[in-house]
Structures are given as C-alpha cells and as structure tokens.
Amino acid sequence: MLPETPAALELRHAVRGWLRRYAPGAAVAVALSGGADSLALTAAAVAEAEAVDALVVDHGLQRGSDRVAAEAASVARAVGCRSARVLGVEVGTEGGLEAAARTARYAALDAARAGSPVLLGHTLDDQAETVLLGLARGSGARSLRGMAEFADPWGRPLLGVRRSTTRQLCADLGLDPHEDPHNSAPEFTRVRLRTEVLPLLEEALGGGVAPALARTAEQLREDGDLLDALAEQLLQSASDGAALSIETLATAPVALRRRAIRSWLLAGGAKALTDKTLRSVDALVTDWRGQGGVAVGGGKPGTRLVATRERGKLCLAFARLQ
C-alpha cells in the first residue's frame, strides 16, 4: 500500500486516469530503469493496475550495470510487481549513443511486453525538454507536440507530473533511486537543456516555463490530431493506385497537402524525411517546372527511392544509383 502523501495521491491519480482512458482492467508492463521517475511510476501502477510486470533494460554501457538492473528488479518485486525481468541488450552506434541506446531499449521492451502496454516514466519536465529540442531544431509543429500519452504500445501517464514529485514519492517510500551518470553528462544535449537552459529560462521569465511548454505541446497535439485526420481524408481522395493525383493535391490547403504527402512517402518506404525534402516533393505539385525526381531516403541495395511527377500523378519509384 502507498502512503497517503500528496506525492502518492498525485501519482496514483495520474496513473488511474491513464488506465481508465487507455487500458481499463488490463495488466501493464512498466519500463523500469531504477531511477526516480520509473520507480515512482512502478509503485503507483502496482496500486492502480490489475497487474504489473516490470521490464528492466540493461544496456551494458557502464560497469556494474548488471548489478543496478538486478537491484531495480528486486525493488519491483518488493513493491508488488507480478514479475520483474532484466533484458540485456547490445547497443549499436547508428545515430550516436543516445539514439542507439534508445533503439535497443525500445526493441527489447516491445519484444518482452507480451501484448501489454508499456508504461514509461516520462514526466512534465521531460515533455518540456522535448518541446524545447524540437523548437531549437526547427522541426515543425509535429515535433513541438512532444510525447503522446499513448502511442501504442507506449504509455506515458506522468506527463502532467513534475520530476520533483516522483522523487518525493521515492522518499516517502524509503526508496533510493539509481542516479544514472549519463543524466548529468554535459556532452548530451538534453542534459544541458535540463541543467542549464531550462533553469535560465525559469529565472529570466519568472518561473512556470516547464508547465507552459507542456501546455503548448498538448494544444499543438490536439490541433495536429485534427489536421492529421483531415489530411488522411485528402490522401484517400487523391489516391490513384500507388500514386497521388496532382490535381487533387494542388487544390488542397498547404497544411493538409504536406501532411498527406508526408504520410504517403512514409508508407512508401521513405526514411528520415526532412523539411527540405518534403518541400521539394511538394514543389513537384505546386511549382512544376520540369524538375527531376526528389530522393526521399530509403531504397534497396544499389537503388534509391525517388518521388517523381508523371502524367499528372505523384509517383514513387526506385532509381539505380549511378
């Protein structure tokens, strides 16, 4: 049983609301790192969910990581998890250490979840950092939406909860969270945002920056969901087999047209679409001057995937590398 402290009540309320909305009566898995956020989430989930299985990923990137993982699994059992498993992974190098570790982690969690949704300990502070990163990179409203409460199978019940609250619950429970050295390493962009940029913004703007950024993400997500639904209708109207009708696309508002084109490209195998690439494909529809195709990433050995305009249609084809 959790103590009836303010932190415990806030965490339980957040998890209860998420479960009622997305997984009523279901067993859930929790991604447990041993840090304060995931420990607090695990304890609150045990109090609210039908059953909880803890999944502890050992990235093997630090000496003693196996011991930390084993201790986290032991705590999970102590707070009432039905099971606790340690998942060892091999971290590659593609995209840098952070991205490679994230890829390995999510793949392991997905393979081990046995059909259950996986709860992640991302908090309001993590959401604020995500929005700031997207803003700095100029990656558009889709990035500024931040993280979703639920993107099957990943659930984030704590997006309205401050990081300080998860730490307080751990203190209330007498738990000693693991402090990952990577979370204070200044070579990681997110760490510098957390330790330097956000505190400076809080000081300069008189506080309330993190909640304001999280509210912005929520508002943009609501707007974005509507635009995505309308773009899907446009995509269906423009579809002509595997191609898209130029005439139908050209008469659509730009916000819907580019969303529809983006969705079509990704479904066709495009990879890592940039704003520049998407605008170049859009120009095949709205600014046609006989230009050649646009490489959109993806492809097969010896080929690249290219978007082209042919006989009034937007098409995808594999072009041989020269």
Comparing CA positions, the residue from 190, 119, 102, 195 lying closest to residue 159 is 119
| 36 annotated as belonging to a binding site for a ligand | yes
Number of Cα atoms under 13 Å in the Cβ half of residue 176: 3
Q: Is 38 annotated as a binding residue?
A: yes
Q: What is the 3-state secondary structure (H, E, C) of the chain?
A: CCCCCHHHHHHHHHHHHHHHHHCCCCCEEEECCCCHHHHHHHHHHHHHCCCEEEEEEECCCCCCHHHHHHHHHHHHHHCCCCEEEEEECCCCCCCCHHHHHHHHHHHHHHHHCCCCCEECCCCHHHHHHHHHHHHHHCCHHHHHCCCCCEECCEECCCCCCCHHHHHHHHHHHCCCCCCCHHHHCCCCHHHHHHHHHHHHHHHHHCCCHHHHHHHHHHHHHHHHHHHHHHHHHHHHHHEECCEEEHHHHHCCCHHHHHHHHHHHHHHCCCCCCCHHHHHHHHHHHHCCCCCCCEECCCCCCCEEEEEEEECCEEEEEEEECC
Number of Cβ within a 10 Å radius of residue 259: 23
> Are the C-beta atoms of 186 and 192 separated by less than 8 Å?
yes
34 is in an annotated binding site: yes
What is the residue whose two structure tokens read 């120009």?
Answer: 283
* Cβ–Cβ < 8 Å for 309, 317: no
Q: Which residues contact 25 (CB under 8 A, 6 or more apart)?
A: 50
Tell me the binding residues for ATP.
33-38
- Annotated binding residues: 33-38
